[in-house]
Amino acid sequence: MQGHVSELENLAGVSGFLVGWYLIAALANGGAAVYWWRQRRAPGGAAGVQAWLPSLLWLAAAAGFLGLSAVALSGQPSALSLLSLPQPLRDAADRVLGPTLVMVGAVVLLVGFYFGRQFFVRSGVAWSVLNLALLGLGLSLTDPDFVAIVARPDNVPIVGLVFLLGFFTWLAARQAVRNDRRLARHEPPLEAVDQQRVLVWPDLVYIELICMVALMTLLLVWSILLKAPLEQPASTVQTPNPSKAPWYFLGLQELLMYFDPWMAGVVVPALIIFGLMVLPYLDVNAQGNGYYTIGERKFAYLAFQFGFLVLWIVPMLLGTFCRGPNWSFFGLYETWDVHKVEALNNVQLSERFWIDWLGRPLPAAPAGAAGWQQLCAVMLRESPGLVLLGVYLLVLPGALARYSRPIWALRNRQGRCRYWITLWLLLLMALLPLKMLCRWLFNMNYFVAIPEYFFNI
């Protein structure tokens, strides 16, 4: 089991870290208050209540984090228990967290961020979201099951990467929004304003040398503070439970829950490489080269963010933090119980069609039939899935080009060949969330299941 540490032992172990965590958050908010105060005093700054409110707000946040740090400094279990998320809230989070809801929620957040990017790229909004993340992580660290997952030496870097990914995604969107505003006023993008020449020596080499020394220092301190995640020597008679790939391959390992191994381990990586290779030849939009923009590259922006964040990062995070023994799904505040087994009655689309809907047995060739008769029986049995995939890959692109005005404009810009390759790649990308929904909502394993020829989709 994972939650073998009692709550009192966990509070005693994390109290010192929480003191530093909340103190850093307080200092950061204090710096933010000073920054907004200096923005008010700068020429052209805001006046009135709007100038004072941000500074007062972040000053109050700094005082609140400082108070939390003082509570953690007391070291009293009764006081530290106040720095915890309520148990009903943790139970609700465990019930809500699931592969399907997480995937759908990621798509909703991406769409919401895209349409509301003018609001979300504001510094005050981003700083508020960061404060909520810092507070939520600090309150969650008092839960022993959460600490057992997040504080593992090989998972700590992933937590840091999540914050860095959020920051750089926001920073790129902020730069793109600023450029879109300038382009709307017929002004050059920000990248075209600064035309200062930077030399490789000494400018670039000097900066790289400093970064190399700083990174080596960080790795040295990291190796001293955190133990290496080494386990017992590998043995064929005793394997870890769960057996996980390196974090950068956990996205592919998560795909094995929904696709056949040849699909998840061969076809999907090959399509990713192929898509990256043909992307420059598919995109005929000459705008947006050399500077950040969303307004001039809407299709490219949404396609990349969906493919990278939703289809790669989210499965990787699910495999890192939510997959436990027997590859069962666990909430962030749930104990990893080795006896938990998810009872999934996986059915194929052919079984659902012939048995459940038509009330007939699956078509099968008679005993001793010839090879072509067996093949015809297999094709008849899997005809619902084959027809569904044919409509999805062959009919849907043409229907979208005819009845959707944005897709029709894309078709005219790219031409027939580029358009069909682009739509096929997008539809294959969308197949993962669709497959997840069918698996977790209807227990549907494969659309087309032909184990006789090792072909399953």
> Are the C-beta atoms of residues 348 and 449 closer than 8 Å to each other?
yes
Distance of alpha carbon 101 from alpha carbon 108, whole angstroms? 10
Residue from 147, 143, 139, 136 nearest 7 by CA: 143
**Whole-number mean pLDDT of the chain?**
86
- The pLDDT of residue 348 is 87
Residue from 372, 310, 332 nearest 143 by CA: 332
Residue 3: band (very low, low, confident or very high) from pLDDT cuts 50, 70, 90: very low
Asked whether the predicted pLDDT for residue 49 surpasses 60, the reply is: no
- The pLDDT of residue 43 is 57
- The pLDDT of residue 45 is 54
Cβ contacts of 376 within 8 Å, gap of 6 or more = 365
User: Is beta strand 449-450 parallel, antiparallel or unpaired with respect to 455-456?
Assistant: antiparallel
The answer to which of 175-189, 272-286, 390-404 has the lowest mean pLDDT is 272-286
Q: Per-residue pLDDT tens for 332-390?
A: 898 888 887 776 677 888 988 998 888 888 888 887 778 888 889 889 999 999 999 99
Q: Per-residue pLDDT tens for 86-136?
A: 888 888 888 887 777 888 889 999 999 999 999 999 999 999 999 999 999
- What is the mean predicted confidence (pLDDT) over 391-407? 89
- The pLDDT of residue 52 is 75
- The pLDDT of residue 64 is 94
Residue with tokens 């080494």: 230
Asked whether the predicted pLDDT for residue 162 surpasses 90, the reply is: yes
> Are the C-beta atoms of residues 179 and 291 closer than 8 Å to each other?
yes
**Amino acid identity of 21?**
W
**Is the backbone peptide bond immediately before 361 cis, with ω within 30 degrees of 0?**
no
> Are the C-beta atoms of residues 118 and 352 closer than 8 Å to each other?
no
Tokens read off for 237? 């008679």
Distance of alpha carbon 63 from alpha carbon 131, whole angstroms? 13
Cβ contacts of 180 within 8 Å, gap of 6 or more = 293, 294, 295, 296
The answer to which of 179-188, 235-244, 288-297 has the lowest mean pLDDT is 235-244
- The pLDDT of residue 46 is 52
- The more confident residue out of 314 and 367 is 314
Distance of alpha carbon 222 from alpha carbon 214, whole angstroms? 12
Compute how many other C-beta atoms are within 10 angstroms of the C-beta atom of residue 353.
19
Distance of alpha carbon 39 from alpha carbon 59, whole angstroms? 15
Distance of alpha carbon 153 from alpha carbon 420, whole angstroms? 45
Query: Alpha-carbon Rg of the chain, whole angstroms?
Result: 27
Distance of alpha carbon 45 from alpha carbon 38, whole angstroms? 9
Q: What is the largest CA-CA distance in the chain?
A: 90
Compute how many other C-beta atoms are within 10 angstroms of the C-beta atom of residue 361.
8
Most confident range (mean pLDDT) of 5-14, 123-132, 291-300, 318-327 is: 123-132
Most confident range (mean pLDDT) of 169-173, 325-329, 335-339 is: 169-173
The answer to which of 58-67, 177-186, 239-248, 356-365 has the lowest mean pLDDT is 239-248
Tokens read off for 200? 């490789």
Residues in the chain: 457
Cβ contacts of 34 within 8 Å, gap of 6 or more = 55
Tokens read off for 442? 């209807």
Compute how many other C-beta atoms are within 10 angstroms of the C-beta atom of residue 236.
5
Distance of alpha carbon 319 from alpha carbon 433, whole angstroms? 15
Asked whether the predicted pLDDT for residue 307 surpasses 60, the reply is: yes
Asked whether the predicted pLDDT for residue 48 surpasses 60, the reply is: no
From residue 143, give the alpha-carbon distance in Å to each of 67, 137, 146, 293, 325: 20, 10, 5, 42, 19
DSSP-assigned letters across all residues of 203-239? IIHHHHHHHHHHHHHHHHHHHHHS-----SPP-SS--
Distance of alpha carbon 457 from alpha carbon 375, whole angstroms? 17
Residue with tokens 């200062």: 196
Distance of alpha carbon 53 from alpha carbon 280, whole angstroms? 47
Exposure string over 366-375, b if 16+ CB within 10 A, otherwise e:
eeeeeeeeee
> Are the C-beta atoms of residues 392 and 258 closer than 8 Å to each other?
no
Distance of alpha carbon 62 from alpha carbon 30, whole angstroms? 6
Distance of alpha carbon 300 from alpha carbon 308, whole angstroms? 12
Cβ-defined contacts of 281-288 (< 8 Å, 24+): 281/418, 282/414, 282/418, 282/421, 282/422, 284/413, 284/414, 284/415, 284/418, 285/413
Q: Per-residue pLDDT tens for 412-447?
A: 888 888 899 988 988 988 888 888 888 888 888 889
Distance of alpha carbon 356 from alpha carbon 350, whole angstroms? 9
